[in-house]
Structure 1
């Protein structure tokens, strides 16, 4: 790389490092600078081996500035981009609109109604994030209602009930009430009986294909005009389990000529031979369909506002028939589009994740490669970071994209100031030292908090450097600054201590590089979304408590998970959070 290109890389890297630092009011990170830098300057890509080392030095110099100095420098370099950042800061905290007709209700009451077929993936967080935010805005009420009335095709997982409540707690919310629909079968039966007496339902023994042909042609089912006593008798036989699966259903009588065939005489109850996994519900064989169960519950629980996917618009229309029979007022409905996530190779689907766990391709629901809340929690990402990102999506009926980088940015703002710094070298190369360097390095625990003190890192006679930080092939006279230790000149495969002043970093563009002592460093296995990464960290990392967050300088944030012993000694296992 020639000097002119190197100068360009440094200028652009400084701008992007300042943008990153000012936007998040924290230290810039090499990983967060690299992507935008390469995106804006595609001609840098052919020098991708050299660029990270240059960025590292620039980021270090930027991080030595306080916030006001960073802002002033950014105003000189990129005033328009600074103005955009400040405009974003002045925008509303979230993009959630007012709930429709909210002032007409004494209390806003909402519900989160998960299917307990597994712990939540990231996309599931949108519902509790939004209704929880609305509850706080309106001083309202919300419940969790487990819609678990399908013991066969959407069979509940017994562990998922508690797992979902734990996920909700992680996001920072506690429901005012928790219901399990499978505890409420008798309530649904009572309402079915009342609906039958009102002439609003009938029992039907048509096969699925037979009824589909009739429905699509707008012709009434031959069972539609049964007398109420017969319907009631046959429904009681359903409740008593006298029919097998597929033999009899109870239909809501709607408009058989409705322009939307999906609304014509829909099924309210069906027979299922598979016992429910919950012992309390295992004897039941007559189960309500979700539209009937949910519609009845929303009224009885007093739900005022429902948020559901745009693809479920027909649910409100089906349930409206039941509400009309009972002379109930339907809740306000807000429809929204789907959330699409980036950054994951694994499909964001509970069933897909479960299959990958069963086949051993994922270690569990908290595997860092899994797009689950349990995974994010184990990686050290705070629930509030997820809530803020989800609430920021609003309630648009269009499908919306959620970049995981927005969750990472939120988390960086939450933890950056309180998280101490450490060195970690991945797949390091050992380089001997010469020239009588200091016996101990004392970089600060946090560059913005001198009162926290310094780390005590014994130096020894050699250090480990990351391969990308090694001098270019053929170079035998390159200077570098080992962070927290001092200046060195690389010559003939050795790092010679130069005793330079720190000014050489600013004035002469000497690269700042992280390192660890070869002798007293500790082995680390860092679990990431791309697989496990081996490395060695400064000695103090081996003494950190599980759950403690660290920022591995020039690498990113990670959560210390555990220290474990094997035949080769002690190893620290950390879960990588983000740059």
Structure 2
């Protein structure tokens, strides 16, 4: 092997055994007559490859077993003859522990004592492509990513659980992959449950032939009632031959087949209802699968596909929310009955927020009924929705990882979620000014200090961060201010015009609304002594920018929506409000997704830039900060 080939090998010794086996074989051949990989002393490439193997628990296990004699000889010799290399190993271990301790200090414990991690760690994220990812999915994805790539040098698999063609779309599949990339989650392998339809079909045949599954034509309501009361189905004792014949009829989508499903024969009266003969195969002849088309007329359920494919794909640790805890014994039953490789489970609490629901079925209903603008609506708890509202990815990751993999189920307020985001955006958000169009008040500047002609000055975009840059601020005798400010002024009251200086109120026009007032500049006045700091815009010396300022409320009026609740009864009738405003001309330069602060109003995300369309206006979405208004 040449030097560049050895370098390539050193960077490829990650992942599962299947992906690294060819590299181990190449190293085995290369070392047939060599003590070192390169030269006659410990080289840099020897150190890199030794450390790469050492840090991959799967690789080191095979090397130590002596599966590759030359590689085993070299690995052991380097370990014994060069104790200095152990310092690098120790440093890597300490770095990993430091990450875990840092997460614990941040409010979450990651010391889970996962089983058999010395044999390698392979986690998976298993979303169904039946909707867009929401914040609950984000927690599952980020935790699986954390344990695979940070806590342990392992592998993260993304598997799209596409077993229900009546609800799944390629649109959702693509969106899931895009959203994970947006969150910085980079799976090492991407697969689909549909990749294993042939294997799962054969698995179901195996269960039927062994007497561990049966065909059942009981109607849905009766089956649900019997499972709830622990009553055996009248079809439970069908013969193997009869079950095989019906399963074949299901596969062909015949009239008889369509009446039936296949159920695992576990128990009919187990105290754990998840163990009461779950359905493992169903017919569907009406909806083409978005990947396999009309090839199949029967599809496995999650209960069968999850344990079988997890084991088949080499998953070592499956993390899922506590709503699946009752299914853990069922998962284990399939592994034991089918004599499959063990997969360890860890349950974590799902993220629950007040006045929020995460049911994809209910969220889809809002989209389909036009109650929201789409899956990326800023009122939706989807990744795209909260991103459109103004949540940054670093804040999202930080917030979720601080929750950790605890099993304690809590219902959180959104305040802490958005407060985390404020810490990210406040140090870098440029400051701009907006005056509401409705009933805005004209303010005339008088006195010796009033500018004779309109002029502009460069002012900092951020009072504490010069790196954000500067903006042009126009000064003139003709200003506009908000009506609420005008109504609060008293004659001869001294106020502060922000980014200009103090002024004294001299004349306020009578009426409601107030249409105009006059002020005399007092730039020598102490800005710290005034009670009122007022935002304003000059109507001269700049081209004011038209803007829409949007704000949003919760979609539902109830803190916790129960499964049996009628969604329509608890929908908030007004969840979006908009006010038209004038903004300073610097706002015209903003692009979609920029985040700014409008002085005295709050933080906003640019949903549409000034030049994004023919209407020449900016659309801004208010970003919550965690404080109640």
Alignment of 1:288-299 (within 5 A): 288-299=300-311
Structure 1 partner of 2:476: 460
**In structure 2, distance between residues paired with 1:173 and 1:539:** 38
Instruction: State the 1:534 CA deviation.
Output: 1.6
**In structure 1, distance between residues paired with 2:456 and 2:228:** 82
**Could you report, residue by residue, the CA deviation over 1:425-473 in whole angstroms, capped at 9, with x for unpaired residues?**
2344322222243443543122123465532222233222223323526
Select 1:358's aligned residue among 368, 379, 384. 368
Select 1:145's aligned residue among 150, 156, 159. 159
Gap runs ≥5 in structure 1: 1-88
**Could you report, residue by residue, the CA deviation over 1:104-152 in whole angstroms, capped at 9, with x for unpaired residues?**
4422222221121221233332211222222222222222222221233
| Change beyond 3 A, Cα 1:250–1:471 | closer
Instruction: State the 1:246 CA deviation.
Output: 5.2
Instruction: State the 1:209 CA deviation.
Output: 5.7
**In structure 2, distance between residues paired with 1:266 and 1:510:** 68
**In structure 1, distance between residues paired with 2:395 and 2:613:** 36
Structure 2 partner of 1:97: 110
Matched, 1:315 2:336: no
| Change beyond 3 A, Cα 1:191–1:528 | same
| 3-state SS in 2 of match to 1:318 | helix
Give the aligned length: 483
Select 1:543's aligned residue among 568, 581, 589. 589
| Change beyond 3 A, Cα 1:111–1:453 | closer
Instruction: State the 1:488 CA deviation.
Output: 0.8
CA RMSD after TM alignment: 2.9
| Change beyond 3 A, Cα 1:574–1:482 | same
On the 8 A contact 2:275/2:330 being kept in 1, the answer is yes
Select 2:137's aligned residue among 124, 145, 150. 124
| Change beyond 3 A, Cα 1:117–1:430 | farther
On the 8 A contact 1:424/1:536 being kept in 2, the answer is yes
Structure 1 partner of 2:190: 178
Larger Rg: 2
| Change beyond 3 A, Cα 1:253–1:536 | same
Select 1:271's aligned residue among 283, 288, 306. 283
| Change beyond 3 A, Cα 1:236–1:94 | farther
| Change beyond 3 A, Cα 1:443–1:497 | farther
- Larger deviation, residues 213-222 vs 198-207: 213-222
Instruction: State the 1:562 CA deviation.
Output: 1.6
Larger RCO: 1 or 2 (CA < 8 Å, sep 6+): 1
| 3-state SS in 2 of match to 1:172 | coil
Select 2:522's aligned residue among 490, 499, 507. 499
Instruction: State the 1:229 CA deviation.
Output: 4.0
Matched, 1:108 2:121: yes
Select 1:482's aligned residue among 485, 488, 497. 497
- TM-score (normalised: structure 1): 0.76
Instruction: State the 1:258 CA deviation.
Output: 2.9
Matched, 1:515 2:533: no
**In structure 2, distance between residues paired with 1:209 and 1:485:** 72
Structure 1 partner of 2:548: 525
Gap runs ≥5 in structure 2: 1-101, 509-516, 553-575
**In structure 1, distance between residues paired with 2:276 and 2:228:** 9
**Could you report, residue by residue, the CA deviation over 1:219-258 in whole angstroms, capped at 9, with x for unpaired residues?**
6545444444443333233223234575222222223443
On the 8 A contact 1:252/1:322 being kept in 2, the answer is no
